[in-house]
Structure 1
Amino acid sequence: MSDDHTDPRLLAGNRRPMAGYQATHFLWTVEQGVATITLNRPERKNPLTFDSYAELRDLFHRLKWADDVKAVVVAGAGGNFSSGGDVHDIIGPLVRLKAPELLMFTRMTGELVKTMRACPQPIVAAVDGVCAGAGAIVAMASDLRLGTARSKTAFLFNRVGLAGCDMGACAILPRIVGQGRASELLYTGRSLGGEEGERWGFFNRLCEPEALLADAQALAAQLTQGPSFANGITKTMLHQEWAMTIEQAIEAEAQAQALCMLTQDFTRAYEAFVARRQPVFEGN
């Protein structure tokens, strides 16, 4: 799957570098294939606004075509991940809206989760401190989650008079922690502590707070050294197979794996094995 003989017009329409992207409502950096999104309103524990929801949605959508971003880290500034939707900038205005505008909002927030799941890059959430409401959803929608002992994750929608079925929570959270545990979190809105979250499988592991971001970026960097095309296929299949029977999933995986066997990375791995050296993957 080399680009050597690919029509440059095709590449121009499907390869969009993102290292130079200028974020407006959060921080964005790219270093050696790892993009870091930092929610940056620490004085309010990094709440989301109408603007940041929309920009995050559009950014993750654009990552489908990014050829210089192989993994993404999402973090919060100032010792907290995110307190969720801003009470003054979002909750207050929502109580005055009518149904069409409310549906516009809920579809926009849901679209953020869709674009996070649809982008091919693995997403690592670095969760410290408060991780509540929509912040908990962003962590949930990530592929991997690193936490701290002091992290507090709460799907607190019922505490503000809403259902727990927000932004895909009733579909995704049970697949991470199990139906019973997800039900408890969504019915009660209670906080899930860091150590409990690791036991439940919500967090892949816990880190020291001062090392959390570096550990998340190191994990993301490790992922960038793998076969990025194949990793994107893995992410796609993990998501799509939720709605498949076992028979359908096995056939879909057969087709996906055959496609990966056509990549040069597959050949590189074989040649490296024969030569008794580590393969260097290039994502093609």
Structure 2
Amino acid sequence: MKYVRIERPEPHVAIVRLDRPDRLNALSATMVGDLKAAFATLHRERGLRAIVLTGEGRGFCSGADLSGDPDHAPDAEGRGPVGHVYRSQEHLSELILAVHECEKPVIAAVHGAAVGGGLALALACDLRVADESARFGSVFIKVGLSSADVGTSYLLPRLVGPTRAAELMLTGRHFDAAEAYSWGLLNARVPAGEHLPAALELARSIATNSEYGVWMTKKGLWSGIGATSLRQQIELENRTQVLGTFTGNMAEAAAAFRERRTPTWRDM
């Protein structure tokens, strides 16, 4: 991969690092393809419990690459204006889905710019930490387009509420880590330069749990957010819990409690 690195700093945890610092990690078609490939690799990796997504250099991600460099999305080159733009839009949207639908919990470790597509990328993650240098913005409206783009209109209202999301999307204004934390958009707000250690600490806390537990908790959480009724979600929860008893981990947890030790989880 040209613009993305996968690092494995410790057992059960991976870092996906955007590595185009000279362009503030702007999302070129090649970088988007690299990120999709990275998440496809990690999506079903046995033993992996959590992924940290971060950016190299001075910022997380400055959004779509507007430099005009010739870098075409797959199946876009040679098409007419509508086809070219549509394929490019789909290419970026597929990345948001790849992050959000990854079976492993994804933690965004944000510093510097996270605007436009960079904000959408952070929103697609399950958890977010940011240092004091972080600046966010739903800035699509500032380039003459709609701020309802690449998942932002779905995720942002669910994370900060529709009233706040309406303000941020309609004005396109930037907001800092302090505001983001006060609205519940961030799990942690840390001093400058501490975003990656904070994200890794969160990843470790997740990684102490069982494969089945982490996997089904992420699935159940997002299913619950989209559920149309409490009864519908409880039916899913019931089946998930019954299935989980067959991993043997509930019995192991009870034994570990009695013996005052850490459980040794069985993988699926």
- Fold-level similarity (TM above 0.5): yes
1:93 Cα offset (Å): 7.7
Pairs within 5 Å for 1:228-267: 228-244=211-227, 245-267=229-251
Off by >3 Å, runs of 4+ in structure 1? 89-94
| Partners of 2:30 and 2:71 within 8 A in 1 | no
Give the match for residue 5 of structure 2. 27
Distance in 2 between residues matched to 1:167 and 1:248, nearest whole Å: 28
Distance in 2 between residues matched to 1:211 and 1:149, nearest whole Å: 9
Give the match for residue 171 of structure 1. 154
> Residue type matched to 2:212 in 1?
F
Pairs within 5 Å for 1:54-69: 54-69=33-48
> Residue type matched to 1:127 in 2?
V
| Partners of 1:116 and 1:142 within 8 A in 2 | yes
Of residues 139, 144, 151, the one that matches 1:156 is 139
| Partners of 1:34 and 1:69 within 8 A in 2 | yes
> Residue type matched to 2:233 in 1?
A
Distance in 2 between residues matched to 1:253 and 1:173, nearest whole Å: 25
1:251 Cα offset (Å): 0.5
1:41 aligns with 2:41: no
> Residue type matched to 1:41 in 2?
R
| Partners of 1:83 and 1:133 within 8 A in 2 | yes
Pairs within 5 Å for 1:4-15: none
| Partners of 1:50 and 1:90 within 8 A in 2 | no
1:167 Cα offset (Å): 1.3
> Residue type matched to 1:136 in 2?
L
Percent of matched pairs sharing the same residue:
30
Distance in 2 between residues matched to 1:227 and 1:243, nearest whole Å: 25
> Residue type matched to 2:18 in 1?
L
Which shows bigger deviation, 111-120 or 121-130? 111-120
Pairs within 5 Å for 1:183-202: 183-202=166-185
1:224 Cα offset (Å): 1.1
Shift in alpha-carbon separation, 1:93–1:156, aligned structure 2, 3 A: farther
- The number of equivalent residue pairs is 261
> Residue type matched to 1:63 in 2?
L
1:43 Cα offset (Å): 2.2
C-alpha offsets along residues 140-183 of structure 1, whole Å, 9 cap, x if unaligned?
A: 01111001122101110000111111111111111111111111
C-alpha offsets along residues 38-77 of structure 1, whole Å, 9 cap, x if unaligned?
A: 1122222111110111221232233232114221001111
Residue aligned with 1:146, SS: strand
> Residue type matched to 2:32 in 1?
Y
| Partners of 1:49 and 1:89 within 8 A in 2 | no
TM-score by length of 2: 0.90
Shift in alpha-carbon separation, 1:152–1:267, aligned structure 2, 3 A: same
| Partners of 2:49 and 2:214 within 8 A in 1 | no
Two-structure CA RMSD over aligned residues (Å): 2.1
| Partners of 1:126 and 1:216 within 8 A in 2 | yes
Q: Which runs of 5+ in 2 are unaligned?
A: 74-78
> Residue type matched to 2:190 in 1?
C
Q: Which runs of 5+ in 1 are unaligned?
A: 1-22
Give the match for residue 107 of structure 1. 90
> Residue type matched to 1:160 in 2?
V
Shift in alpha-carbon separation, 1:38–1:92, aligned structure 2, 3 A: closer
1:265 Cα offset (Å): 2.3
1:100 Cα offset (Å): 2.0
Residue aligned with 2:16, SS: strand
1:276 aligns with 2:264: no
1:203 aligns with 2:181: no
